[in-house]
Amino acid sequence: MSSSSEEEDPTSPGPTDPNSSTPPVGPTPQAQSALESLSQILGEPFSPSLSLLDDTHIANSITIRLRQPLSGAGDDNICRWLYDTFQSSDPQLQLAVLKFLPTLAGVYLIRAVSRKPLAGFEAVLLALYAHVTKSRAGQPVTVTIPDLSHPSLYHETTAKMKTKNIATELHIAVLSPVLEPQGTVRSTKRGRIVGVALELYYSKISQMPVSSKLDLCEFCEVWAGQYDHLSNKNNGNVDEGSNSSINDASSDVSISGVGCIKRSVREECGEKGGRIPLPWELLQPCLRILAHCVLAPTNLKELKAAAMAAVQSLHVRALHDIDPQAILATESLLKLGKREMESINEASDSIVSSDFQDTPESLVVFSN
Amino acid sequence: MPSRKINSSEDGMSSQEVSVSGVFAVSSEVEAEAETKLDEGNIHEAESSLREGLSLNFEEARALLGRLEYQRGNLQAALQVFDGIDLQAAILRFQPSYSEKPSRRNRYRTESPKSLNLHAASLVLEAIYLKSLCLHKLGKSTEAAQECKNVLDAAEKIFPQGLLSGVLIDNKLQETVCTAVELLPELWKQAGRYSEAILAYRRALLSQWNLDAECCARIQKEFAVFLLYGGVQASAPSLAAQIDDSFVPKSNLEEAILLLMILLRKSYLGNTEWDPEVMEHFTFAVSLCGQTYVLAQQFEEILPGIFPRCGRWNCLALCYSGAGQNETALNLLRKSLNPRERPNDLLAFLLAAKICSEDCHLASEGVAYARKAIAKAQGADEHLKGVGLRLLGVCLGKQAKVVSSGLERSVLLSEALKSLDEAITFEHHNPDLIFELGVAYAEHRNTNAALRYAKQFIDATGGLMLKGWRLLALVLSAQQRYKEAEVVTDAALDETAKWEQGPLLKMKAKLKIAQSLPTDAVEAYRLLLALVQAQRKSFGSFRHIIQAANNHVSECEVWQGLATLYASLSHWNDAEICVEKARMLKQYCPATLHTEGIMHEARGRIQEALAAYSNALSLDLDHVHCKVSIGALLWKMGPKSLPLARSFLSDALKLEPTNSLAWFYLGMVHKDEGRITDASDCFQAAAMLDESDPIESFGSIFY
């Protein structure tokens, strides 16, 4: 953990260092009151100068509360606090709420199958969904697949064929379909609502702390529900790596409870294994987040390993569902991730032996 | 040191120029002196001895010294030396005297900036570049990036028209600039300044640096990767870079896909080496967008010799199957599963079996694939055995629908159930499997078992899947428990957003009809119609890409249903209007013609009815309802046409053995022809089936 890069440093779990977390904004009155109400709910006093987004102690307290067996009901104070804090329209506070989305969505989707009252979780998820719906005005997110026979920003066409009609030549892909306002979580819309919340999370992912991303990796693995298949495999290197990294992360935090709590998620889902239906609308944002965790330039090795374990599970799940799109996406990600892990290992080996190199090429390669 | 070629005929080449290059080759004396002075730690003296000895100016002397220090590994000392260089002053000297606006994308200029002191410029630029490297190695990424950026700024000022391939430019200078161009975004990334990195990438790709093909490809790939996974939203490209009519990407994903496509094409054209990673990034990006058809096109374009052909066929099959082109996918799989190719690929078997399981006429082929898949699922792949068994069960169930003999059918059906049951021992928590079991039992008309599995499926998925609700309601309707089926339908309506309610409303209308509540049925149809029309208006051109497209009821279907309903109430005018509407939406539709036929028949126009039915049959040879209707009409016509009636009815039963009406009329035909035992068998079948008839066929859940 000590080797974390500059980018992740303030947010990575570790003893809170007042210097490391740069106060982005002086605590606004909204942040103050959010902090006060949180300290009442958790029953412990917080220094008013704490940053809600960065403080790992608060984050762990909330995570533990979210993972408790009876959390998420309509009268759950933490959910109410998350809801109110998100509604405060202070971007920093919204980010502070968003970082708990992996845990909240993870616990919610696993329990939703058992028909427990989960109005608390649902209120937060609906608030996130409504936020996206509003900011997108309900419009779909589309991606235009270019046709290279027409010139683009990055290339010119040699043959000057008169462009007929560009629109007809383009494929328009819908990345995220039209959003309808949702007042309640209807069960057939559950995947979509959580998926849209995860889309929001993805759009802010560069500001999310490592611990939050690790949570998501863990839950993706549980959702895939394939680890009994994978643990049988003798080449479970990736799997082991992720487990140890999750435990590392929690021991680093030096809150003894977290490790057990994390394990209890799997125990709670028991023999069913926490497998949930993974429609594309839910799987796709998960894959985008995992791809970021595996392949973004500055991520920690532990995070990459955890994300790889999740991708591995989702790949096996895709094979079981024989879902071509998911197979293609997870397989390519798996290959890229394996290469990434290899190059990290090579780089960490060579970093010791390498001294001054004149050629910048080697430097470029190294920084990959 | 590489020796440089100097074109002395150029006006710009002064005597100083020659001497600078001479440093490396000849004047070891001065250099040695400078080195000694450096060793003593006296930069200024070293510098002045260089300046005097080689008649260099201040910046050039510093640049040389700094490089010496850098090559010796004295980063701090090198930095100290480089710090003394005034880049701005140097640029002013190197800048061409004529002032011309830099035009970025004008790639076909040929004039060269003549009055340049190229070697001196090269020396100074390299110095700044080395300074950036020093800073980077000392861990000061941001400052390193800033210095690197200065190199590019300076290069742009000195060569306002860009670095051009046709112009004679110092090799060393070109090399320095290119490496700086490539390094800059990496430095920004390491400094955590992502938006700067994006600008640097775009600058690298959009300005004239005369990069070689491989270098440009490397930058494009790195940029695409960063856009795909960096997790930062890139701002839109600057307007200056956009030309009319050219495609400008609007989002990270779009830009990344564009870059990757360009990279792929370059390698097809042989301009760059093939890079498998590019294809993998592209695969990921495009399958995220659900555009596996585009991916298939790219796979088709890959030159032979890069992919093993079976691997390519299998990838293509996945792409086409993902794009809904199952027929193409299956043909590719058949090729790759050929005994002479790669007949042991488990995934190919599974995919082939899955594709076959969706079509009755391919089911027997699917059975063979599934059996092979089960046999191959061993060792590390053993967990896929359950999948194979599930597919085997589904394929057998489908095959049972098309076999002609009743005995064969029941054998297949029980085998199907057996293999599904076996599959569930491998995957007891796979809801999809539970669903398949529910459907299989329902089609086997074991409604109690089907009901159990349907409930289990809804529990296991938490009601997430609409098809679970539909199956439960259908099974209840098959048990003639219409009230309960309606409760389930209403519950499902509550759990479904407006846009996806189509199939449920249709089901509700049919439930009302089954309970002889025509006014309520009309009301349900009215709601359905409003929904369908609203959908048509709001989706417009997006219709074909909406993911939940299979949850949509076509407007034509609604009018047909209404027409049938009105006809059964003898509201002929209303029925006519509905038929007319249906025909306007879809001119040649067997179902509409069938409804028309029913209306004619009910009003005693037998010839018109027959004409309508046979027209429908000529549109769809396997239209079961028409066959039954024709059979019934012929039976009513009298003893002469009885054999014909029988052949139509048995034809219908071959296609749909669970059609109770067909059994009933066949029984009547037998009775009229005097075969009482046969008749009573038929009536018994009809009665049994009638008691377990769902309001819609169970297969409709899949469409």
Q: Is B46 helix (H, G, I), strand (E, B) or coil?
A: helix
Sign of CA dihedral B110, B114, B118, B124: negative
Residues B381-394 have a mean pLDDT of 90
Strands A141-145 and A171-176: antiparallel
Residue B240's pLDDT band (cuts 50, 70, 90): low
What are the pLDDT digits (tens) for B544-577? 444 445 567 788 888 988 998 998 888 888 999 9
Query: Residue for token digits 């533990």?
Result: A64
In a domain? residue B648: yes
Model ipTM?
Answer: 0.82
Query: Is residue B286 within 8 Å of A295, Cβ to Cβ?
Result: no
Cβ contact, residue pair B192, A5, below 8 Å: yes
Residues B355-359 have a mean pLDDT of 91
Residue B318's pLDDT band (cuts 50, 70, 90): very high
On the question of pLDDT at A208 being above 70, the answer is yes
Rounded CA gap, B272 and A183, in Å? 54
- Chain A residues 272-311 with a CB less than 8 Å from chain B: 272-273, 275-277, 279-281, 284, 287-288, 291-292, 294-298
In a domain? residue B67: yes
Q: Write down the pLDDT at residue B31.
A: 63
Q: Mean of the per-residue pLDDT values for chain B?
A: 82
Rounded CA gap, B49 and B54, in Å? 8
Cβ contact, residue pair A294, B427, below 8 Å: no
Residues A41-53 have a mean pLDDT of 76
In a domain? residue B156: yes
Rounded CA gap, B473 and B481, in Å? 9
What are the pLDDT digits (tens) for A142-153? 888 888 877 788
Residue B703's pLDDT band (cuts 50, 70, 90): low
Q: Write down the pLDDT at residue B54.
A: 64
User: A205 touching B, CB under 8 A?
Assistant: yes
Of B53, B187, B168, residue with least CA distance to B122: B168
On the question of pLDDT at A163 being above 80, the answer is no
Lowest-confidence pick of A330-344, B13-27, B66-80, B604-618: B13-27
Q: Write down the pLDDT at residue A227.
A: 55
Domain boundaries, chain A: 9-17+26-140+177-364
Other CB atoms within a 10 A radius of the CB of residue A335 amount to: 16
On the question of pLDDT at B99 being above 90, the answer is no
Which chain B residues are within 8 Å of A320, Cβ to Cβ? 383-384, 386-387, 427, 430
Residue B162's pLDDT band (cuts 50, 70, 90): low
Q: Write down the pLDDT at residue A151.
A: 79
In a domain? residue B654: yes
Residue B117's pLDDT band (cuts 50, 70, 90): low
Query: Is residue B472 within 8 Å of B451, Cβ to Cβ?
Result: yes
What are the pLDDT digits (tens) for B7-62? 333 333 333 333 344 444 445 566 666 666 666 666 666 666 666 666 667 777 77
Cβ contact, residue pair A171, B294, below 8 Å: yes
Cβ contact, residue pair B497, A233, below 8 Å: no
If residue A359 lies in a helix (H) or strand (E), which one and from where to where?
none
- Chain A residues 220-259 with a CB less than 8 Å from chain B: 225-226, 229, 232-235
If residue B307 lies in a helix (H) or strand (E), which one and from where to where?
none
Both tokens assigned to B63? 């640049």
Which amino acid appears at position B215 of this protein?
A: C
The rounded radius of gyration (Å) of the Cα atoms in chain B is 39
Question: Which of B162, B191, B209 is where one domain is finished?
Answer: B209
Query: Is residue A131 within 8 Å of A151, Cβ to Cβ?
Result: no
Sign of CA dihedral B684, B689, B691, B695: negative
Which chain A residues are within 8 Å of B233, Cβ to Cβ? 203
Half-sphere exposure of B481 (CA within 13 A, CB side): 14
Q: Write down the pLDDT at residue B77.
A: 79
Backbone angles phi, psi at B589, to 5 degrees: -125, 120
On the question of pLDDT at B352 being above 80, the answer is yes
Rounded CA gap, A80 and A57, in Å? 20
Beta bridge partners of A155: A152
Q: Write down the pLDDT at residue B234.
A: 80
**pLDDT winner (highest mean) among A125-134, B145-154, B435-444:** A125-134
| Coarse DSSP helix, strand, coil percentages of chain B, rounded to the nearest 5 percent | 75, 0, 25
Size of interface A-B (CB pairs under 8 A): 250
Rounded CA gap, B525 and B574, in Å? 14
Residue A14's pLDDT band (cuts 50, 70, 90): very low
CB within 8 Å of B419: residues ≥ 6 apart: B389, B390, B392, B393, B396
Rounded CA gap, B426 and B190, in Å? 48
User: B442 touching A, CB under 8 A?
Assistant: no
- Chain B residues 276-335 with a CB less than 8 Å from chain A: 277, 280-281, 283-284, 286-295, 315, 318-319, 321-322
Alpha-carbon gap: B36 to the closest alpha carbon of chain A (Å): 22
Cβ contact, residue pair B383, A332, below 8 Å: no
Query: Is residue B462 within 8 Å of A115, Cβ to Cβ?
Result: yes
Which chain A residues are within 8 Å of B351, Cβ to Cβ? 322, 324
Of B138, B89, B260, B679, residue with least CA distance to A148: B260
Cβ contact, residue pair B251, A143, below 8 Å: yes
Q: Write down the pLDDT at residue A6.
A: 37
Residue B169's pLDDT band (cuts 50, 70, 90): low
Query: Is residue B209 within 8 Å of B162, Cβ to Cβ?
Result: yes
In a domain? residue B559: no
Percentage of chain A with pLDDT > 90? 32
Residues B433-456 have a mean pLDDT of 89
Cβ contact, residue pair A188, B463, below 8 Å: yes
Question: Which of B188, B209, B230 is where one domain is finished?
Answer: B209
Q: Write down the pLDDT at residue B286.
A: 93
Query: Is residue A125 within 8 Å of A194, Cβ to Cβ?
Result: yes
Percentage of chain B with pLDDT > 90? 26
Residue B475's pLDDT band (cuts 50, 70, 90): very high
Residue B82's pLDDT band (cuts 50, 70, 90): confident
Of B485, B455, B477, B404, residue with least CA distance to B653: B404
On the question of pLDDT at B200 being above 70, the answer is yes
Beta bridge partners of A144: A172
In a domain? residue B68: yes
> What is the reported pTM?
0.82
If residue B484 lies in a helix (H) or strand (E), which one and from where to where?
helix B482-494
In a domain? residue B579: no
Backbone angles phi, psi at A152, to 5 degrees: -135, 180
Of B101, B122, B104, B118, residue with least CA distance to B208: B104
Query: Is residue A136 within 8 Å of A159, Cβ to Cβ?
Result: no
User: B253 touching A, CB under 8 A?
Assistant: yes
What does the CA dihedral B404, B410, B412, B418 come to, rounded to 10 degrees? 170
Query: Is residue B415 within 8 Å of B396, Cβ to Cβ?
Result: yes
Rounded CA gap, B120 and B90, in Å? 9
Which amino acid appears at position A64 of this protein?
A: I
Number of structural domains chain B divides into:
2
Residues B520-526 have a mean pLDDT of 90
Residues B676-680 have a mean pLDDT of 92
Q: Write down the pLDDT at residue A252.
A: 37
User: B241 touching A, CB under 8 A?
Assistant: yes
Lowest-confidence pick of A75-84, A313-322, B157-166: B157-166
What are the pLDDT digits (tens) for B206-230? 887 878 888 899 999 999 999 999 8
Q: Is A172 helix (H, G, I), strand (E, B) or coil?
A: strand
Rounded CA gap, B689 and B447, in Å? 12
- Classify residue A58 as exposed, middle or buried by CB count within 10 Å of its CB (0-12, 13-18, 19+): buried
Query: Is residue B33 within 8 Å of B49, Cβ to Cβ?
Result: yes
Q: Write down the pLDDT at residue B41.
A: 61
In a domain? residue B502: no
Residues B297-310 have a mean pLDDT of 85
Domain hosting residue B659, numbered range: 627-703
Query: Residue for token digits 């949180």?
Result: A38
What are the pLDDT digits (tens) for A228-268? 555 544 343 433 333 433 333 333 333 333 444 455 555 55
Helices assigned H by DSSP within chain A: 29-42, 56-67, 77-87, 91-98, 101-112, 119-136, 166-169, 190-203, 210-224, 227-232, 237-253, 256-269, 280-295, 301-321, 324-353, 360-367
What does the CA dihedral B354, B358, B361, B366 come to, rounded to 10 degrees? 10
Percentage of chain A with pLDDT > 70? 71
Q: Write down the pLDDT at residue A195.
A: 95
